Amino acid sequence: MVGKKNIVFGFLFLASTAALGPLMVLKYDDWGVANAEKQQVVGKLQALRAGDYEEDPETLEDLTAKQLAVANAEAIVSMNKVGAYEFGIDFIKGGPHAHGNLEALLNIVVGVVLCFIAAPLMLKQAVSWMFIVGTLMHSGLLYLERVFMQEWATVWLNTAIGPGLILLGLVLMGAMAFKGFKGEWVQD
C-alpha cells in the first residue's frame, strides 16, 4: 500500500507542528508582560501630553526636557519590545505552524487517495515521495529555521524545491484521480 507512508508521516508531522501551539502560548505570556509595561509607560507619556505642554508655555516650564525625553524613550523601547514579541510569535505562526499543519494534512489526504487510485505503482510511489520530500524541504526547513534558529536552512528554503514538489504532486494527483480514481480500495 503506497499511501500508508504518507498517512503515517502526515500524522507524525502534524503532531510536531501542532505542538508549536503551546510554544506560541508561552510566547504570548511574555508578550502580555511586555504589553502591560508598554501600556504603563505610554500612559505616562499620554498624561504628560494631556497637559498640552506644546501649546501652554507655563505647562512646558513645569516639565523639563529631560522628563519628556525619558518618557518618550521609555515608550519607544516598550513598544519595540512588544513588537519583538509579536514578531517572534508571527514568525512561528506564519511559517512552520501554518504550513506544517497544512502539508501534514495534505500528506494524510494524499495517502488515503492513493489507496483508491489505479495507476502504475512507480507513478504512485513518485507522487507519494514528492509530498513527503516536499513537506520536509518546505515546512520542515521552516521548522528548523524559525524554531531551532538554524540559519543554514534558509539557503535551501530559497530554492523553492519543497513547494515545487508539492505543487507538482498536486497536479499529478489531479491527473491520476481523473484517470484512475475507482472509489474502492485498489491493491498495489
Give the mean pLDDT of the chain: 80
Longest dimension (CA), the chain: 89
- The answer to whether residue 28 scores a pLDDT higher than 60 is no
pLDDT number for residue 133: 97
Domain spans in the chain, listed from the N-terminal domain onward:
4-180
Residue 128 binned pLDDT confidence (cut-offs 50, 70, 90)? very high
User: What whole-number distance in Å separates Cα of residue 86 and Cα of residue 99?
Assistant: 19
Q: What is the pLDDT of residues 56-97, one digit of tens each?
A: 445 545 556 666 677 777 777 777 666 666 666 666 767 787
The string of DSSP codes covering 101-165 is HHHHHHHHHHHHHHTTB---HHHHHHHHHHHHHHHIIIIIHHHHHHTS--THHHHHHTTTHHHHH
Phi, psi dihedral angles at 23 (to 5 degrees): -60, -40
Residue 55 has a pLDDT of 46
pLDDT digits (tens, 9 = 90+) for 168-178: 999 999 999 99
Residue-level pLDDT at 156: 85
Q: Residue 97: what pLDDT? A: 76
Does residue 108 surpass a pLDDT of 80?
yes
